[in-house]
Structure 1
Amino acid sequence: MIYPIVAYGHPVLRKVAEDITPEYPGLQDLIANMWETMYASNGVGLAAPQINRSIRLFVVDSLQIIENLEEDEKKDYPDDKGIKQVFINAHIVDSAGDEWPYNEGCLSIPRVREDVYRPEEVTLRWVDEQFQPHEATFNGVTARVIFHEYDHIDGKLFIDYLKPIKRRLIKGKLDDITKGKVSVDYKMTFYK
């Protein structure tokens, strides 16, 4: 089942999401539907708040980015093999490395892309879909996608990292998204 993506302006995107337990109703179906929704929307990550669920759950498939890099780009991410992973109740343990720019976009903020600076590495503690605990460090593009999706479960958006002048320059686009005046090739839901 493909869920509609929650558009910028919906309050769920600004809430800090809650941890869940293994008894969360329909969790396995929810995860399967999140993967389906993410791929149908041509995304590389999707967080539960983006489908109107304020829970600490997100999925990441950075394999598709790594696999599609040009040969000369692969040298920029030598240690990043990519992942396809479910993250439940994730919490950042540490971040490290120099901040570097990458042109980010978001399914909830269509037609807006901007350079965002983030650290090179993130260490995360989470449980998987069987509620087995994990802790690992990710780098490169994979770390970037994780930081982006993690922000969603903390009520943040990539545009929050932009300088005020950039925010003013995209204000019209953001207002249009909030009003539903945007055309995308995936299902969206707008806050009225």
Structure 2
Amino acid sequence: MNIPNRITLSRIFLIPIFIVLLSVPFNWGDWQIGENELPISHFAAALLFIIASATDWIDGYYARKHNLVTNLGKFLDPLADKLLVSAALILLVEMGLAPAWVVIIIISREFAVTGLRLVAAGEGIVLAASKMGKLKTVTQIVAIAALLLHNFPFSYVNFPFAAIMLYIALFFTILSGYDYFVKNWNVMRDSK
């Protein structure tokens, strides 16, 4: 197994730790942020989420730079991304920090595009990530991190940055899903 695939696997292995940080009631205390409190476990989970998200860029860059792109990597990388983002969004709903309907739309889009990619793979076609898809990923990561941090540092000035970013991520999620299906509808139409 090459280094980029090991980096991707490390992202997958960080997900259970991330889940534990948000699910187990650690009594590490809270930080006062404006009028809100930020549990230290949420800060630790946000930091872990940001590190895990950064490995997505690192493994892809390293694989392309050193010509180490593999079929395993093409499978594991989007899987790791979807597992991390889905786990974070579901936990944010459980904590009351994200509306369930937004999360349902985001996760549904991920399933739909994954299905499209599977149909394309069956036809021998690899659907690469589009620029719109990458923008979707970046906005989702920023929104999730901001929500995990309870809108820090914007909570000091009462600016709802985290909520705005979540709706921007929702917009790009829908737009990129539409883009994938419009550009690749022939794959669905012509599949056997």
TM-score normalised to structure 2 length: 0.29
Structure whose residues are more often strand by fraction: 1
User: Larger C-alpha radius of gyration, 1 or 2?
Assistant: 2
Structure whose residues are more often helix by fraction: 2
Higher relative contact order by CA 8 Å / sep ≥ 6: 1 or 2? 1
